[in-house]
Amino acid sequence: MGNNKAEAFLITLEEHQLGHDLRLDSDTATVSDMLEALATFASQRLYKCRGCDGCCHERAPLTALDIPALAELLPAGKYPAQAACSAFADVFVDKDGIVDITLRRDEDGACLFLHKESKSCQHWPARPFVCRSHYCLPRSERLEALRAAIVNNGEDELIRVLIAEQTAGAAPILPQTLDAANYPPNPAFAGDKWQEIAIKKLVPAKLWRKLREL
């Protein structure tokens, strides 16, 4: 179910548990094709999630491609990644310098975008990739690996962008001791829209082969 480049479908996992899987049907499949296939599958196979806030209490890492939509919620500025992260993100840096950037949580552990009375997202069109790609149904191993690869690479690219903005004059939200050499430009993120991000360029060859299997 989806477009001619990606298809999402039901599968049976261990112990006869239903889950969902994704197959890529084109070498030019993009992250946008993946999200479209998952959304089509969900609309045809799953109940609508409005009124359920279960996933709104989970960790939601941000990626570079989440920034344009989040920045549109704010006044236009010179440093969109810095502005969006300052307004909507929690930034954690551990003692080893590992950085994690996630959507901010309130004192109850709920996403700051959650409308608690209606149990719905107040900024649904601007929700990040991790939210767009999550459904309350177990994922296949290859779909889980694909989702993790996009999140991990996308978060690293966001860190690189933030370092670049700080170097250009943005107010720092990352430690200035971070080494930019640890976050080189990722060719897979040459574009700034999901439809411009080719999955084949983003994932290891072994995972790519698995995603193309019937």
Sign, CA torsion 205/207/212/214: positive
Asked if residue 78 has pLDDT above 70, the reply is yes
% of the chain surpassing 70 pLDDT: 99
Asked if residue 107 has pLDDT above 70, the reply is yes
Confidence of residue 2 (pLDDT cuts 50, 70, 90): low
Asked if residue 14 has pLDDT above 70, the reply is yes
Asked if residue 48 has pLDDT above 90, the reply is no
Sign, CA torsion 90/94/99/100: negative
- Give residue 36's pLDDT: 97
Least confident of 1-5, 36-40, 61-65, 67-71: 1-5
pTM of this structure: 0.94
Burial of 104 (0-12, 13-18, 19+ CB in 10 A): middle
What rounded mean pLDDT belongs to the chain? Answer: 94
Q: Give tens-digit pLDDT for 136-174.
A: 999 999 999 999 999 999 999 999 999 999 999 999 999
Give me the helix-helix angle, 80-88 and 141-168, nearest 10°.
Answer: 110
Question: Tokens 């049907």 map to which residue?
Answer: 25
If DSSP states are collapsed to H, E and C, what string results for 109-130? CCECCEECCCCEECCHHHCCHH
